[in-house]
Chains A and B, each alone.
Chain A
Amino acid sequence: MVFEKSLTAMVKGIRAHRGNESEYIQACITEIQKEVASKNMSTKSMAVLKLAYLTMLGYDMAWATFAVVEVMGTNRFATKRPGYLASSISFTDQTDVGLLTINLFKKDFGSQSQYESGTAINCLSNICSAEISRDIMTDLLSLLSSSRAYLRKKTVLCLYRIFLKDPPALRTCFPKLKDRLGDEDQGVLTATVNTFLELARKNARNYLSLVPQLYHILVNTQNNWLSIKLLKVFQLLSPLEPRLPAKLVEPLTNILNTTKAQSVEFEAIRCVVRSMPEGSAIVALAIEKLQTFLNSSDRNLRFLALDLYKEVVEKFKEKTSLKDLHDKVLTSIEEPDLTVRRVALQLLDRIVDPSNFQEAVQRLLEFSRKATLNDEFIGTILRMAARDRYALVEDFAWYLLILGEISRNMDSSYAATVAEQFVDICVRVPQVRPYAVTLALGLLDTPAEAERDSISVCTPMVAACAWLLGEYSGDLEKPSEAAFLSGAKVLLTSRSIQALDAATQTQCIWAASKLYLAVPEHAPSTVAQLHELLCSQLPSFVRSTHLDVSERARLALNIANFYKADAQSLQSAKGLVAEQLLPVKPDAQAQVPVSVDLDEPFFVIEEARPSFMPVRADPTDPYSLASTYKDDLGFASEPNRAEAPQSTAQGVPSSSMYYLGKSDERAAAEQAQEPSVPEVKDPLAQMRERLEAQRNAGAPKYQVMRDDVTAPGATPTPDAGQVPSSSSTATLPIPPEKELTDLQGRLWTVCHRGEHLAVYVCIRSPNLRKRQIRLELRCERLCAPELLVSDVALRFPSAAHVQEADASGRMLVVGSLQERSSKVKANLDSAPFLWPGVFDLRCELEYLVKSASSEAAEAQSLPIQLRFPATTFLAPQPMSEDTISDYVSSKSDLLGHQTAQALSFEKTADLSSLVGRCAGLCHFHGIQQAVSPQSQDMKFLLVGAVQPPSAATLEGQRAAPTGALVICRCAALVRPSGLELRITVKAFQQ
């Protein structure tokens, strides 16, 4: 006889065996295995209870499910309960004994004790599956109208769980459930409203019919919890029913004015913010209440108010008194609570405008100096500034200074962003460049004696400064000799540069060489000094262990050696860096259509040409040969190149190779210079003074190049926000090729469905260059399994030139056809396909059928038609709106036919991309036409060109007129019910 251990004893035992619990538990499980088999129900029940506990510790109890069901079926409540508990913990949809529980549930639902039924309902909600639900639904429905409120409440809640598992059940229960909204018991009512709320979260539209009852409850209830739930339901419903908000004004005002509970008040405010139109009195009331929340001493209320304000600001642009809020938010940022602070920062991000941006940034910077975790502040500054291409920044010089200050913080995670913005602003705002370059020089050139050789700004910023210095050296303040020299010096000599990463070093080297190349134009007198600096400093970079650095240094050194310290020859090198950079869209590269076809050889194999062009022998003109040389490097235009170095070298003794005392002298020169600047100033402080001076003198007007350059040949994407109202035409974004190919891959059509099998085809875009069209074919067997279908082949007409096909046509299936064949590709020569219309290609389908009984296979041959859609053989024709209208007026004979069609859609958010996708699939070039800014309608023009004529013809095909176009005009009209699309197609023939 096994000693029966209670749950408490087992738990105590587990605690006592610290260290080797698993051994003890294993022992317990063996014990339980015996107990479960016992006849005594209370022993069994205890065993199940212990197992339930062990399951929660992670032990499997799937082996005992039958025992659980047995325990559930006992008569005593005390033994029954562990069974229900264990089953609700351990049963899953896969548990096969789950179905055995149905009768137990039915029995317990009818039990005398409401607690037995209650436990059963509870358990059902946990283990219900679609199968159980179907069988038990009628019992649950009768429980819904039970006389006991306790059971009604439990059933309502249980139903929600069942709907999740078995959605069709909702349909049968809905009327009964709706009746429960009239229940006089508060508990049942709350449960019902709750259930409807959760259901409405999934699909609110279905519950609009409940509005009158819900409204009635809202007006009459005093229960706070219920009010909150109702307000939530109304938040979900009011966007769907335009008449609802007006109805709600009265009860909401009532709640706002009378309720004592802050939670209800808050929910009411939220409901108003979300569902009421801007400008109404109730919105003003709600915002006023929200303001009191914001000023309250309760931290929780302050947090919630800030959080809700985010929504308010987003929804009502004009209404809110931003000034107050701005101050309030700035004070909230100082709160010690991180959560509040983060929400405040997010809110600040939304409410700043150019007038208070400077103040906000200053405050944020101050806090960031005080706080230990300051990255958030800095991130907010950067985010605010960069929004809409620096729309908030009015004084760019000031903002650059701020960036400089931030970059002093070496370990900020935003270092790279700061550097990026620094460069970006300079590229976009030409007027700020002089200031920026000086600032960059100041940042790099740290004067503080102690930091002589350590750069005090973060690494990405060093790279940014170096780039600026090189690129915009022309903007350095005149006279710029000193600046050029110190710039190059700082870029090359500072020892800490060599400690930075390779990419930064390369930037510095190149920036220095750019300075050298630009020197003759801006500071001609320092050519020699710079040249010497490069020659003396670069070798140490050449020795760098980084390949990049070494290579770049060598290049720079060679450039320096080539041009020497000669101002005039250097002039000719300007071309190296002449091209100006413009802001480039981040995705510009991706928009360049891929022109490389991997099947095409990279090099066209040409016939070998003689290496030298034969020169016309002309005794009268001895220079004819020489004139064929191009003056690539501008040597010919520099007739006195040879003399120049000497003349400049004379002036500067240090560039002479015989000069020995250079290092001493430079040191001396430095020493001589230093005393002349008596106090060492922080460059930022200096720059700040400059900024002040600049401001006093009248701030410069900044113009930001907000437009991005897209790569040539790319199709520019219209700005999403701009499209509907803009008065310009925009090319429709045709999705990238990959997306189109994916879409095409899904367009399978049935081309044959017969007695034995079906054939499906997917027609890919023709490759116009290779004059090929690819078909993908697949077949599926339809006949009974006794019949063996094998060796399916498709024979194309001979004119179609199928590649890689053998005499019997393209084999789809070799051997017997199972359920479905794999995809077979066939490449057709597209040359014979000329006609831009629906075309059926006649093919023959051949296969063998063999029944299991007969020996001989029967050959079948059926004619089938492959249908090519009308637009398959069009080619997109990039044209502007003007050229199209020219074409329409001049070639009216080629547009004799017109067909129209109207479609209606549900509203789609992004129609232009949809039309673009269609245009891409049908090989059209698309443009979006201008419409009046008020209307939301859109117009598109799609153009496709027909194939050029070719010699090969196919039965049923003929050439279209040369140069004919198919023009398709789409007008999308926005109607209240949805979107109406009118399509007119013009072509040379129907």
Chain B
Amino acid sequence: MIKFILMVNKQGQTRLAQYYEFLSVRERVTLEGELIRKCLSRSESQCSFVEYRDYRVVYRRYASLYFIVGIDNDEDCNELAILEFIHTLVETLDKYFENVCELDI
């Protein structure tokens, strides 16, 4: 199951965060910081799945914004489906805002 969805920009600022399980504010901040550093350090040629703590993290970059989705590591989620889900999410945003950009979020 999806545990959290983050939208973080290249400067490491979290633009939107939605958690589906309880985490304290401090835990969230460290999690977001570590994750974005991890994602930023990866190049284009690397795959979009990262293992982080107990999560399997799927991320995708759109311009300067990273969409990061954390899923349970024990259950096998379909990573490709999550990638498609991220894309659907972006398309939805695009439709709503018309030519969506980071500022809209």
Which residues of chain A have a CB within 8 Å of any CB of chain B?
56-58, 198, 201, 224-225, 228, 232, 261-263, 266-267, 270, 299-300, 302-304, 336-340
Contacts and interface: CB of A to CB of B under 8 A. Distances in A.
Contact of B46 (A198, A261, A267, A339): A339
28 contacts: A57-B25, A228-B81, A262-B80, A263-B78, A263-B81, A263-B83, A263-B84, A267-B78, A267-B81, A270-B76, A299-B47, A300-B49, A300-B79, A302-B47, A303-B47, A304-B49, A304-B79, A336-B43, A336-B45, A336-B46, A337-B42, A337-B45, A337-B47, A338-B46, A339-B49, A339-B51, A340-B46, A340-B47
Interface string B34-57: 000000001101111111000000
Nearest to A56: B25
Contacts of B49: 300, 303-304, 339
Nearest to B1: A198
B104 interface: no
Given A58-B25, A201-B75, A337 B80 contact: no
Q: Majority SS of interface residues in chain B?
A: loop
Nearest to A235: B76
Q: Which of A198, A225, A263, A266 has the most CB of B within 10 A?
A: A263
Nearest to B50: A339
Contacts of B45: 299, 336-337
Contacts of A299: 45-48
A270 B81 CA distance: 13
Contacts of B24: 58
A299 B45 CA distance: 7
Categorize the interface residue count of chain B.
20 to 34
Counting chain A CB atoms within 10 Å of each CB, the highest count among B24, B46, B76, B80 belongs to B80
Interface in B4-21: none
Nearest to A265: B80
Given A270-B76, A337-B42, A337-B45, A225 B81 contact: yes
A340 B46 CA distance: 8
A266 B46 contact: no
Given A337-B45, A339-B46, A340-B47, A300 B83 contact: yes
A263 B81 CA distance: 5
B39 to A, nearest CB: 12
Given A201-B75, A337-B47, A304 B80 contact: yes
B13 to A, nearest CB: 13
A262 B78 CA distance: 10
B62 to A, nearest CB: 16
B78 A228 contact: yes
A198 B1 CA distance: 8
Contacts of A263: 78, 80-81, 83-84
B34 to A, nearest CB: 15
A510 B5 CA distance: 61
A56 B51 CA distance: 27
Contacts of A267: 78, 81
Nearest to A194: B1
Interface in B81-105: 81, 83-84
A924 B84 CA distance: 62
B1 A266 contact: no
Contacts of A304: 49, 79-80
Given A56-B25, A300-B47, 15 more contacts: A225-B81, A261-B84, A263-B81, A263-B83, A266-B80, A270-B76, A299-B45, A300-B79, A300-B80, A302-B47, A303-B49, A304-B79, A304-B80, A338-B46, A339-B50
Nearest to A308: B76
Nearest to B60: A300
Nearest to A342: B51
B40 to A, nearest CB: 14
A310 to B, nearest CB: 12
A261 B85 CA distance: 13
B84 A300 contact: no
Contacts of B81: 224-225, 228, 263, 267
Which of B45, B76, B78, B83 has the largest count of A CB atoms less than 10 A from its CB?
Answer: B78
A218 to B, nearest CB: 15
A11 to B, nearest CB: 15
